[in-house]
Every structure is written in structure tokens, then in C-alpha cells.
């Protein structure tokens, strides 16, 4: 099974952190997640993150989950390939 979408999510997190000028450590605090959870996700050690985890990350960015997941690269991804 391919997990390319996890890399897409990781790139989204990196992009939003850079855009907002925050570190992964700060995102963990803002999200209420352990630093290891963020690290595992952005370093491709988590292959199937829970929706609850993604929701907390979105809230850390002051976004809804829908806003967090609504971006071109993920929208163009095909899970069937």
C-alpha cells in the first residue's frame, strides 16, 4: 500500500509552519500534542494518522480540519493509484 498522502500531509505541515513562522515544537504546544507525535508525522514514521490528531494539528494552526485538508496537492492525489 502506498502512503504518499502522508508525505503530502507532512509537506502541508512544514509549509504552514514556515508561512506562520512557527517551529514544530511550537505547533506541538499549540495543538496540545506531544512533540514526538508531530515529529513522527512530519518525518514519515506515522503511516496512518488518526483524524483526531489531524484535527488537533488543524486547530493548532487556527484552522478547521476541512481548511487544513483543502489544498491542491492533496485534492489532486488519487488514492486508487
Backbone angles phi, psi at 44, to 5 degrees: 60, 35
How many of the other CB atoms lie within 10 Å of CB of 79? 8
Residue 79 above 60 pLDDT?
yes
Name every residue whose Cβ is closer than 8 Å to that of residue 14 and which is 6 or more positions away in sequence: 42
6-57 confidence digits (pLDDT tens): 899 999 999 999 999 999 999 999 999 999 999 999 998 988 899 999 999 9
What is the spatial distance between Cα 28 and Cα 37, in angstroms, rounded to a whole number? 8
CATH of 4-74, one of 1.10.260.40, 1.10.30.50, 2.40.50.140, 3.30.230.70: 1.10.260.40
60-70 confidence digits (pLDDT tens): 999 999 999 99
Residue-level pLDDT at 77: 84
Prediction pTM value: 0.88
Residue-level pLDDT at 4: 86
Name every residue whose Cβ is closer than 8 Å to that of residue 33 and which is 6 or more positions away in sequence: 53, 56, 57, 60
Amino acid at each position: 500500500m502506498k502512503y504518499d498522502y502522508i508525505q503530502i500531509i507532512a509537506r502541508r505541515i512544514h509549509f504552514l509552519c514556515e508561512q506562520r513562522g512557527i517551529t514544530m515544537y511550537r505547533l506541538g504546544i499549540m495543538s496540545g500534542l506531544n512533540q514526538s507525535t508531530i515529529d513522527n508525522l512530519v518525518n514519515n514514521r506515522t503511516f496512518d494518522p488518526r483524524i483526531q490528531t489531524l484535527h488537533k494539528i488543524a486547530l493548532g494552526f487556527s484552522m478547521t480540519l476541512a481548511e487544513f485538508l483543502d489544498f491542491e496537492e492533496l485534492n489532486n492525489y488519487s488514492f486508487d493509484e
